[in-house]
Structure formats: C-alpha cells, structure tokens
Amino acid sequence: MTFQGWFLIIAFIAILLLLCKPVGQWLFALYEGRRTPLHLVLGPVETGFYRLSGIDPKEEQGWRRYAVHMLIFNATLLLFTYAILRLQGALPLNPRGFDGVSEHLAFNTAISFTANTNWQSYGGESTMSNLSQMLGLTIHNFLSAATGIALAFALFRGFARRSAATIGNFWADMTRITLYLLLPLCVAIAIFYIASGVPQTLAGSVDVTTLEGVKQTLALGPVASQEAIKMLGTNGGGFFNANSAHPFENPTALTNLVQMLSIFLIGVGLTWTFGRAVGNTRQGWAILAAMMTLFLAGTAIVYWQEAAGNPILHQLGAMGGNMEGKEVRFGIAASSLFSVVTTAASCGAVNAMHDSFTALGGLIPLFNMQLGEVVIGGVGAGIYGFLLFAILAIFVAGLMVGRTPEYVGKKIEAREVKLAVLAIAVLPLVILGFTAIASVTEAGLAGPLNKGPHGFSEILYAFTSAVANNGSAFAGLTANTPFYNGMLGVAMWIGRFFIIVPMLAIAGGLAAKKYTPATAGSFPTAGLLWTGLLIGIVLIVGGLTFLPSLALGPIADHLAMINGQLF
Amino acid sequence: MARSVQKSLFTADLIVPAIGDAFRKLNPGELIRNPVMFTTAVVATLLTMLLVVGQDGLATGFKLQLVIWLWLTVLFGTFAEALAEGRGKAQAASLRATKAELTAKRLKGDDKAFEAVPASALRVGDVVLVETGDLIPSDGEVVAGVASVNEAAITGESAPVIREAGGDRSAVTAGTRVISDEIRVQVTVNPGQGFLDRMIALVEGAERQKTPNEIALTLLLVGLTIIFLIAVGTIPAFASYAGGGIPVAILAALLITLIPTTIAALLSAIGIAGMDRLVRFNVLAKSGRAVEAAGDVDVLLLDKTGTITVGDRQATEFRPVGGQSMPVLSEAALLASLADETPEGRSIVALAREKFARTTAELPAGAEIIPFTAQTRISGVNIAGSVIQKGAVDSVLKANPEAQTTAAATELRRITDEIARAGGTPLAVAKDGQLLGAIFLKDIVKAGIRERFGELRAMGIRTVMITGDNPLTAAAIAAEAGVDDFLAQATPEDKLELIRKEQQGGRLVAMCGDGTNDAPALAQADVGVAMNTGTQAAREAGNMVDLDSDPTKLIEVVGLGKQLLMTRGALTTFSVANDVAKYFAIIPAMFIVLYPGLGVLNIMGLTSPESAILSAIIFNALIIPLLVPLALKGVTYRPMGAGPLLARNLAVYGLGGLVAPFIGIKLIDLAVGGLGLV
C-alpha cells in the first residue's frame, strides 16, 4: 500500500461527500416536481411529451397502480430489445454485418439490460450492431436507471406522506429523471470523455498496421456516450468486452476517477434527498455514514490484499502486489478502489479482472453484492434496498427501547416487517438456490474455467452478480450457454422485480399511515448508534447467510493459497 | 398491592406441573403456533428416524446425543411457556378461588322472592339479592340499595368501601363480600366473560391471542428461519461440488443452531409473564394489545386530585381583610368549621388551634349549624343570633350583598386572586354580614411526583394535568408539580376533545378515570385505566382495570409495557448475535474434510469436529432454560431516553450475545471432552 494509493481513496470519498448535497438537492427538486433552471430549455420538451402520450403528470397513483405501470413499461421494453437483438441481421446500422443474436443470449441480454444489471454473456464489439448497442441496449441504460430512481422516489414518498393514498406518478417521475438529470449529465460527461480520447463515431472499425508490422482491426463506435450512462446509471455494460479496462473506454487516470465518481454520484445524492424528503437531512447522512463505513472497510481489505500480493509468487521471486489482470496505467490502488465501487454500487463495470484478484480481494466484491447491493448500491435500488434493512434494524431497536418501532415518523408494524423480510429473503434464495443447481448439474459444471474452490467462486459470483443486478463477471465462467443464459436471466429478473414489488407495497402502506412525532422515547435515527446498528443488521441479516458458501469458495481458496496451492 | 404473594421463580409446585405440561405441549397442533420451534421439532423427528435407518458414517452415540439435545431444545421452549403459564394461573387462581362455588340469590320478578342458583347460571340482566355476609356472585351494577363491601379478595385492601345505586360507585366485582346492608345487583357479564376470566385467558398460552408486536416479531423470526433454511439446504450441493458429502445430522445441527430458537422458545413465556406482572401489580388488562400500547404512550392525562395532589386540600393561612384582626378571623373560622367533618374543615380547625392558639373545643350549647348545600355553597354556624358564614368567595359575597361594595370586598378579591395564582383555593369568612377575611386552602402536591414527571419526560412522555380548577390555580399547581401542560375547568367533553386532538397528531394517549362521564374518554384513549371503584360503564370502556384504584399507577403501567417489549427485543438481539459464534464452531467442523485449510476458522480451538458440533447444539439448548428467569422477570427497566437505553441494551444483549457463546461453547467443548462424550 502506498501514500498515493490511500490519497486516491480518501480524495475519492471527499469529493463524493462534497457532491452529495448539491446532487441531493437537484434530485429533491425532481422528487417534488419543482422547477429547475433546466426547465427553461427542456420544459417544453417535458410538456410536449406529456401531451403526446396523454399523461397527466399531476395524476397521482396508488402503489398498486404505480407498480403495474412500472411492470408494463419494463416488460414492453424487454420485448422490444429481445426483438431488436434477434432481428439485428436484418436491421440497419450494422456495419460489420453481424447475424441475429441467439435465442438464449437475446433472452439473457434483454433481461439483463432491463433489470439494470448489464450482465454480458457476449463480447460487445464482436456480437452487437451499432443499432443494437444504441437502441436496444443504451436505451435501457437510461430507462432502467430512471426506473430505479423513480422507485426510490416512490418509497421516499411513502415515508414522507401522511395518511395519503398515493405515492406519485410513475410516468412523471420517469420523464423528469431522464430529462433533467440523466440526459444533461451524460452529455456533459460524454463531452469530457471525448476530450480525453474516447471514440464517438458511427464507423465500425479501422484497420491499422502496428509498429511490428502486423495488421490489426480496431473496433470503434459511439463509445463515449454509452460510457457516460454506463457509469452514471450503474449499468456497467461496456461497449467492449474488456469494459473499462479497455483503453478506448477508459483511457486515463482522470477518466478512471470520473468513472468511479459517476458510479456513486446519484446513489450518494439520493441519501441526502431521502433525508430532505422526510424532513431531516441528518437521517440521510446517517444512512450515508453506514454505507460509507462498509465501503471503506471493503476498500481497505481489497487494497491490503491486492497490495500484499500472492505469497506463492513471492517465493518464485515475483515480488510486489498482485498485478495479474490489472491495467498498469491504473495500478493496484485504482483497480482495488474501482472493484469495490463497482460492486458496492451494482454497476458491474470493471477496470480489472476480479477473477485474477487474490482470494480475499475477490471476496469483498462478492460480499458487497451478497449484501444486496446496498452499499450505495444501484441508482435508486441501493437506497430502497438499504431502507428495507433499516426497517428491520428499527424494528429490533424499537423493541429494545420498549416502543412499537417508528422510523422517520412512521410506525413499523407486522406488514412492513413481513414485506421487508420477503424482499430480503429473495436474495439468498435465488443466489444460493441457483448456485446449488449449477454445482450439481452437468450443464452448470461445464461453465467454470478453474477447478476447486476457485471454480465454485466463479459460479457463485455469476449468480450473485445476476441476482444483485450488478452485472460484473468474475470472468473464467463460460456463461454464453443455454443453461447459464437462461438461469442467469431468470435470476436477474427475480433479483430486480421480486424486491421492487414488496418494496412498493411497503411504500403504499407507509404513505397511508399517520405521522407519529418523535419524542425522547423514540429511538433517534440520526446518530452514530443508529449508523452502527444499521451496519450490524446489514452484516448479520444480509451477510451471515452466505458464510457457508464463502467458506467453500473464496475463503477455502485463500487458505489454499497460503498453504501453497493455487486453483 | 400488598396482597401479591411473590412466588419465587423455581418452586417445586410450579416446576413439577410445568414439566408435565412441557411434554403435553409437544402436540403438533399447539407447536405450530410457534413456527421456529415447530421447525426444530420436525428436524428432531427426522433425525430420530434417521437414527434407526441412516447410514452416514457418524457414530451412533454421537447422533443419539444430537437427537437428545434437539428434543431438549424443543422441550425447554415448551417448558418455559408452561412455567410462565403456571405462574400466571397460580396468580389468577387465587383470584378465582372464591368465585368457583358461589351461589346467587336470583330475584324472581319485582318482589323479594328469590331462588338460589349457582353463579354460573347467571346471565346478563339477571338481578340478584346480596345480603350482609354474602359474596357478590358476579360482576355487576348496584341497582338498588347501599352497602359496604369488603373488596380485600381482589384488592388486598381491608377497609370496606361503599357501593350504592346510581352515581359513580355502583360497580361491584364477583368474589367480594357485602359486610353491611343489602343491595340488588344487576348482572353485567355472562359467566366466563368477567374481568378475571379475561385475565386468566390472557395468561393461558393456548387461548392467548398474539399481540400486534408479537406477530411482527414472529414474522421476522419466520423470515430468518426461511433464510437459514436456504443457507443450510444448499450446502449439500456446494459440498458435492467440492467432492464430498455432509451428513444430514450435521446439517440439522447447523440449521437448529442458526435459526432463532432462543427467542422463539421464550417468546410466549415473555408475553405471559408480562401480563402476569400486571396482575401482580393489581392491574387487570383486557388484552395484551393494551399492555403493548402502554409502552408506546406519548401523552399521559392525569387527574389532579388524588394523582398529582393528595386528595384533600389543607388550610395553610388566614388572611384578614378590612382591618380585622387575626384572632377574630381565626376564631370565626374555627367556629364555622367545628361541625365541618370534611378534611378541609378539619384542617381549618387544626390550623386555628396549632398556629393561632385557639382553644375553643366545641360549639356553645344552642348553636345552630348551617349545613353546606349545593345551592348556597356556604356552611357555618348561628350562635345566639350571630351568624358566621364560610364558603366560596363568590357565594359569600352573593349572600352578603351589602358587603360587596366595601373596601374589604375589594381587598378580598385581590387576596382571592393571589391565592388562586399561588395554586390555592380561597374560602371567604363573614360574620353578621361583615367580611372578615379569607382562608388559604392549599393543594398539597404529592411528595416525589415532580421527579416522576421528570422521569416521564426523559422517556419522552408528556404529562397533562386535568382539573376542574380555574386556570390560575391550575397553572400554579401545574408549575409546582412539574407537569408539561394542564387542562383547567375541564369537562368530560373537554377531556374527550383533548384526547382526539392528541391522537390526530399521531400520539398515543393514556388516561385513568372512574366516573360514568369518563367512559367516552376512557374508550377513546389508547390506554384507558378504569378504577375498580368506578362505575361499570367506566370499567367497560377502559382496557385495563386497576384493582387498587390508584391513578398514580398509570406511570408504572407504562413502564411495564415498555419492559415487555424490551425483553423481547433484548432476547431477539441476543439470539441473532449468537449465530456468529455458532458459525465459527460448526463451519470448520463441517467442511474440514473437504478443505483441511478451513481448520483455521476454528478460532475457539474446539477439540474435534464432533465435539464442536455437539457443543454448539448443547449451548443452543441450554441457553433457553438459563434465560427463562430473564424472560419471566423482564429485563431491568430504568426510565431514560431511547438513545442511552438502546446503547445500554445493545452493549449488554448485542455485544453479550456475540461474546457469550464463544465462551459457552468453548467451556462445553472442554466438558464434552472431559466426560468423553464423543
């Protein structure tokens, strides 16, 4: 570990903390449906869009209606993308003349992008036409991100409203988030990427002769624009197979920092928005503090392990940290930090190969996802997932101080506990259940590249990544098979929508409750104690379940490495 | 209060029947009410069957021990519930004993003819005759007559109380004895529905309704059980990937140690014990929900008289007016009060004698007493044509119109205001149409009540004093007693209005009351404690009845409610925190055959895999009876803010729950090794 390494990590957190409030304020304006400076330019677009589609943005929806509209919208997009992928051979903007995508790959990919996962069982530059990338996939980068934020807004309204029957209008939320947040930010960030050397063209590829005299084809495309939303919307689906490790996606140390910041930007801002929505910004800071503590702990472990390197290689004379699978221009600190950011935030973009991390270095990204992507988490999804844990934490805390628990003025009762447990149980059920199926079936066992506990980690990582809607891959797993495409597709769908529906039900129930003012007898949910309790509950409820699987995967792998055995 | 025989927790007459009941409660129909323990029982049954047929390479002796400890886990849970029930029943039985063989004199028609019937044959609406020496056969309302009744059987207070038709003292309770006169009582409850019956049902596990909070907690526990079922159920597949198999017995052991058996086993015992504590406190709750609500109360409405102040006002000062001398005023006040048997009257006599050395012992012969009437609101004495009047200032002025314009009247009015502002009640004294001065009757705030309100404030509970006094007097007493707010010149409608307003603001309100006109407010309040001396209407409207009729108890009832929830919370935290250590015991033991390297996770240094698994399961079982006393007594509750309270409980039960099993499992492992059990 070096001073520069730690400086990068501290600077990264400091910049985020500075950005938290302004971003949160902007999001709050959208949450409230207030006017922003951008309305001057984009306001007519918004109203024009409403008029065109016959939507009344002021028409409020109850949670069931909000959920149904959200599901119909996502299902429609899913079918749309599936059709484009299957038919890409017959569609325009296909300069390299790719054929239609196979049934199972199209199924997997369509779900993957709809569910804000961006798991990629394919290499982008060798499978997808420009039309597929821009219309079939990039559209989800915006809309799945906007869906996540809209759902977070809906839950915030549940906490903030009193004796209300509605939690907002899905279409208005979607429109405002896309128009006033995602699009303008992406334009700005894309311009910065272009300036940094990221390609932005509709041309297919260029042929070059390298210094060694070899002919090489360099794939090109509209990379900068996809890169911006890939990070901002915690999508993570790269234009190239190598994702952010590819020099065209992520050319410099500065683009690397901006990529990491843009992954966390909205997730961090939403914690502030939550606090503001419930009338006490300290509530938001308390949540952010809990998330950041978990994040920092994870980063420290990964950085420490990666910097320490592999003792077996040390004996062979290869001193220093673990550089296998890392880009030299980023180095150990930036790669470690990136891996924790991308897995903490359900992004899934990678600038290094997690499969090549040391065992414990690879355990943290895995564990981040198993916690349910609540450490900052995916845009919107992170905070609503975290609030589910907060409901359980406040329930236990409330009992311990002798009161029916209440959180930000809302009583947490049997219904909330039931739904929160239901949503939280989805994760272990699908992750462990599907991993179990894959570890005993022939089709499943055909996937992993490595043997022993490392191969098990590869399977576990894939299903964890899918259910948690992260989308990062441990590599090493041959996933483009009917078995894995199918299983992972189902896992991604369940991991997204089987959590959302109970979450919206909680939002609806909370909105209908009356407000209970806090007294000295109610437990203060804005202090250090609360932050500590949140961390404890996330680790115990979210983490303990996975201990046996981690023991058989990364931990066994790590111990074997210490004992001089590599897998 | 004095009645409660404080049974110690573990006396033979409680434990022996509880052991029998523990086995009886293994009945699946009853076990399924507790899903976690039901799961444990299913697993135990499965393992018992595998013991006979299974071939998995494990030593039979080891498996047999596992099976025994699994069954013990279930039995400890049913035992805890049975013990709590036993204590509750013993408590209720002492209340019920008198009731069982009661006979009633049921009246036929309107005349005095009656038939003797067993109390169980009485129905709502029947009218029974209760004569001197009879036990009252059923809860009811006096419809005719007046009698003194000894209610020691339920309140422990031996002084008889008056029960009469009409008014606020008309309710009678089954099992109490009429010691003079006779009354006719209209039965108001059917057999099996009286307060006692309801209370008994609340402490009997089988019929007990789960409270809202208990339901929520059960859901959480079921959720955790499902999550751990998934975690354990997928292990065989993972192990098969690693090229091995895990015996079912070991998976079962892991599952049972991980699911929250500790809290689940004690959950119903905690609820029963909570109700039982209330009974010991001489408060009968009609539902567990009411007890829970008591813990959530935000606002306490307290009647001034009897709760905040001692019931009777005391004379503390004489204030002469119009140049009258103190001896004249004190002598007049004394004479006017000699025949006044009210506490206020007696306190005036005492003041005059002690502070002003008046020696007149009795009224001169021929003195004519002027009795107090509600119309005049004046009492006094007529001694040989000289009339001394004593009464409310307005009334005395009204009775002496010629004195109203004098300077003395102006002075009297000023003093009246002063007294009111100081929290006192002024009485005016006049002699033969001339104003002599005022008597300062002071409300005496109960000793220590200010500190109690301070505690309540720290707990986040606001106190509101309800009084019929004028706002000036009320404000002064409120300031002295340290309540947060007051409602002066309160009518029953005002009370109801105040409760509604607080509830609309999202606050839970508790109050106590006794009169029929309190009934609507008692019904509206989230926690309504009716005084046992109150009317039947009040007792029906409230959700708790205080047998001692002590309104101050409301404060303790809140504490009991909080203690109930806290006990559940503390044991849940303890139970879940325990899982960390159990993982560290079982995971290395389970996987060491697959990956020997995982042996380093055996941080407790347990002797062998078998010993580690057995130790974890023994700890998991033994912790239940060890925590039974805590579950039954409740965790210590001190009034303090939520933050410090949580910090304290987290340190004790959270941190304690993390650390304790590491030590416990290690010790058991040493014992298991020492005894050569594996």
Task: Give mean pLDDT, residues B231-239.
Answer: 93
Tell me whether residue A220 is in a domain: yes
**Strand locations in A14-141 (E):** none
Give the gap in angstroms from C-alpha A519 to the nearest C-alpha of chain B: 5
- Integer Cα distance of A402 and B659 in angstroms: 24
Q: How far is CA A221 from CA A125, A203, A375, in A?
A: 9, 6, 33
Please tell me if residue B232 touches chain A, with a CB cutoff of 8 Å: yes
Give the gap in angstroms from C-alpha B260 to the nearest C-alpha of chain A: 12
Tell me whether residue A29 is in a domain: yes
Q: Which residue of A has its CA nearest to B231?
A: A545
Q: Which residue of B has its CA nearest to A445?
A: B241
The H helix count followed by the E strand count for chain B is 24, 22
CB nearest to A439's CB, from B240, B566, B643: B240
Please tell me if residue B555 touches chain A, with a CB cutoff of 8 Å: no
Across the interface, do A524 and B238 touch by the CB < 8 Å criterion?
A: no
Contacts 24+ apart (CB under 8 A), B22-25: B22/B75, B22/B78, B22/B79, B22/B81, B22/B82, B23/B75, B23/B78, B25/B78, B25/B81, B25/B82, B25/B205
- Integer Cα distance of A381 and A375 in angstroms: 10
What is the structure's pLDDT at A330?
A: 87
User: First-to-last CA distance in chain B?
Assistant: 53
Could you give the angle at the alpha carbon of B210 between the alpha carbons of B206 and B212, nearest 5°? 175
What is the structure's pLDDT at B95?
A: 61
Please tell me if residue A549 touches chain B, with a CB cutoff of 8 Å: yes
Instruction: Report the DSSP pairing between strands B434-442 and B314-320.
Output: antiparallel
**Taking a C-beta distance cutoff of 8 angstroms, is the pair B303, B512 a contact?**
yes
CB nearest to B238's CB, from A396, A517, A552: A552
Task: Give mean pLDDT, residues A537-562.
Answer: 86
pLDDT per residue as tens digits for the range A495-528: 999 999 999 999 999 999 988 887 777 778 888 8
Highest mean pLDDT among A220-234, A242-256, B228-242, B267-281: B228-242
pLDDT at A183 over 90: yes
* Least confident window among A243-257, A470-484, B168-182, B573-587: B168-182
* Residues in CB range of B333: below 8 A, 6 or more apart: B315, B318, B348, B351, B352, B390, B429, B439
Q: Name the residue with higher pLDDT: A47 or A314.
A: A47
Going by C-alpha positions, the residue among B65, B38, B47 that lies closest to residue B259 is: B38
Please tell me if residue A474 touches chain B, with a CB cutoff of 8 Å: no
Instruction: Report the SS3 class of residue A356.
Output: helix
Going by C-alpha positions, the residue among B224, B226, B234, B228 that lies closest to residue B254 is: B228
How is B499-538 classified by DSSP, letter by letter? HHHHHHTT--EEEEE-SGGGHHHHHHSSEEEEETTS-HHH
Task: Give mean pLDDT, residues B322-334.
Answer: 87
Q: Which residue of A has its CA nearest to B225?
A: A425
Q: How far is CA A473 from CA A369, A390, A427, B75, B515, in A?
A: 12, 29, 18, 48, 73
Q: How far is CA B183 from CA A567, B134, B148, B150, B260, in A?
A: 93, 10, 10, 14, 56
Across the interface, do B506 and A560 touch by the CB < 8 Å criterion?
A: no
DSSP tag of A325: T
What is the structure's pLDDT at B178?
A: 87
pLDDT at B5 over 60: no
Give the gap in angstroms from C-alpha B507 to the nearest C-alpha of chain A: 6
* Residue B146 CA neighbour count, 13 Å, CB half: 7
Grade residue A483 by pLDDT with cuts at 50, 70 and 90: very high
- Integer Cα distance of A7 and A18 in angstroms: 16
Task: Please give the helix or strand (H or E) that residue A417 lies within, else none.
Answer: helix A414-440
Chain B hits for A538, Cβ within 8 Å: none
Please tell me if residue B230 touches chain A, with a CB cutoff of 8 Å: yes
Tell me whether residue A459 is in a domain: no
Domain that holds residue A249: 25-274
* Residues in CB range of A11: below 8 A, 6 or more apart: none
Across the interface, do A421 and B223 touch by the CB < 8 Å criterion?
A: yes
Give the gap in angstroms from C-alpha B471 to the nearest C-alpha of chain A: 27
- Integer Cα distance of B572 and B245 in angstroms: 33
What is the structure's pLDDT at A76?
A: 96
Task: Please give the helix or strand (H or E) that residue B442 lies within, else none.
Answer: strand B434-442
Grade residue B365 by pLDDT with cuts at 50, 70 and 90: confident
Across the interface, do B562 and A559 touch by the CB < 8 Å criterion?
A: no
Please tell me if residue A312 touches chain B, with a CB cutoff of 8 Å: no
SS3 content of chain A, % helix, strand, coil (to 5): 65, 5, 30
Chain B hits for A402, Cβ within 8 Å: 295, 561-566, 569, 637, 645
Instruction: Report the DSSP pairing between strands B485-487 and B171-172.
Output: unpaired
> Which value does ipTM take for this structure?
0.89
- Integer Cα distance of A199 and A204 in angstroms: 11
Please tell me if residue A64 touches chain B, with a CB cutoff of 8 Å: no
**Strand locations in B122-192 (E):** 127-130, 140-144, 146-150, 161-164, 171-172, 177-180, 183-187
Tell me whether residue A288 is in a domain: no
Please indicate, yes or no, whether the overall pTM of this predicted structure exceeds 0.80: yes
What is the structure's pLDDT at B201?
A: 66
pLDDT at B346 over 90: no
Tokens of B157: 């207070």
* Least confident window among A468-482, B184-198, B278-292, B571-585: B184-198
Please tell me if residue B593 touches chain A, with a CB cutoff of 8 Å: no
* Residues in CB range of B56: below 8 A, 6 or more apart: B50, B247, B248, B249
Across the interface, do B230 and A545 touch by the CB < 8 Å criterion?
A: yes
Please tell me if residue B576 touches chain A, with a CB cutoff of 8 Å: yes
Please tell me if residue B642 touches chain A, with a CB cutoff of 8 Å: yes
* Least confident window among A35-49, A97-111, A395-409: A395-409
Please tell me if residue B231 touches chain A, with a CB cutoff of 8 Å: yes
What is the structure's pLDDT at A71?
A: 97
What is the structure's pLDDT at A531?
A: 92
Chain B hits for A453, Cβ within 8 Å: 242, 595
pLDDT at B100 over 60: no
Tell me whether residue A218 is in a domain: yes
The catalytic residue positions of B are 303
Going by C-alpha positions, the residue among A323, A72, A298 that lies closest to residue A174 is: A72
Tell me whether residue A538 is in a domain: no
What is the structure's pLDDT at B96?
A: 62
Tell me whether residue A162 is in a domain: yes
What does the mean pLDDT of chain A come to?
Answer: 89
Instruction: Report the DSSP pairing between strands B544-546 and B527-531.
Output: parallel
For A:423-462, CB contacts with B below 8 A are: 424-425, 428-429, 432-433, 435-437, 439-440, 445, 452-453, 455-456, 459
Going by C-alpha positions, the residue among B387, B392, B380 that lies closest to residue B339 is: B380
For A:39-58, CB contacts with B below 8 A are: none
* Chain A / chain B CB contacts < 8 angstroms: 218
The H helix count followed by the E strand count for chain A is 23, 4
**Taking a C-beta distance cutoff of 8 angstroms, is the pair B274, B634 a contact?**
yes
pLDDT at B514 over 90: no
CB nearest to B241's CB, from A398, A439, A515: A439
Across the interface, do B217 and A445 touch by the CB < 8 Å criterion?
A: no
Tell me whether residue A331 is in a domain: no
Task: Give mean pLDDT, residues A218-224.
Answer: 80
- Integer Cα distance of A161 and A202 in angstroms: 47
What is the structure's pLDDT at B3?
A: 40
Please tell me if residue A89 touches chain B, with a CB cutoff of 8 Å: no
Give the gap in angstroms from C-alpha A423 to the nearest C-alpha of chain B: 10
Tokens of A323: 């550089």
Across the interface, do A516 and B507 touch by the CB < 8 Å criterion?
A: yes
Q: Name the residue with higher pLDDT: B3 or B391.
A: B391
- Integer Cα distance of B252 and B279 in angstroms: 41
In the β-sheet with B509-513, what is the strand arrangement from edge to edge? B283-285, B544-546, B527-531, B509-513, B299-303, B462-466, B485-487
**Taking a C-beta distance cutoff of 8 angstroms, is the pair B538, B518 a contact?**
yes
pLDDT per residue as tens digits for the range B427-478: 899 988 889 999 998 888 887 888 888 888 887 889 999 887 788 888 888 8
What is the structure's pLDDT at B202?
A: 64
- Integer Cα distance of B590 and A556 in angstroms: 13
Residues listed for chain B? 678
Going by C-alpha positions, the residue among B572, B563, B555, B564 that lies closest to residue B637 is: B563
B342-355 b/e with 16+ CB inside 10 Å = b? Answer: eebbbbbbebbeee
Please tell me if residue B643 touches chain A, with a CB cutoff of 8 Å: yes
| Number of domains present in the structure of chain A | 1
Residue A36 CB neighbour total at 10 angstroms: 17
Chain B hits for A363, Cβ within 8 Å: none
What is the structure's pLDDT at B252?
A: 93
Grade residue B548 by pLDDT with cuts at 50, 70 and 90: confident
Give the gap in angstroms from C-alpha A541 to the nearest C-alpha of chain B: 8
Phi and psi at A457, nearest 5°, equal: -60, -40
Across the interface, do B232 and A548 touch by the CB < 8 Å criterion?
A: yes
Give the gap in angstroms from C-alpha A535 to the nearest C-alpha of chain B: 13
pLDDT per residue as tens digits for the range B591-615: 988 888 888 889 999 999 999 999 9
**Taking a C-beta distance cutoff of 8 angstroms, is the pair B438, B321 a contact?**
yes
Give the gap in angstroms from C-alpha A313 to the nearest C-alpha of chain B: 19
pLDDT at B2 over 50: no
Task: Give mean pLDDT, residues B310-334.
Answer: 85
Chain B hits for A529, Cβ within 8 Å: 643, 646-647, 650
Task: Give mean pLDDT, residues A536-554.
Answer: 87
**Taking a C-beta distance cutoff of 8 angstroms, is the pair B292, B213 a contact?**
yes
Q: Which of A388, A396, A400 to mutate to test the interface with B (most CBs of B within 10 A)?
A: A400
Q: Is B473 exposed, middle or buried (0-12, 13-18, 19+ CB in 10 A)?
A: buried
Going by C-alpha positions, the residue among B517, B526, B476 that lies closest to residue B495 is: B517
Task: Give mean pLDDT, residues B236-258.
Answer: 90
DSSP tag of A477: B
DSSP tag of A522: S
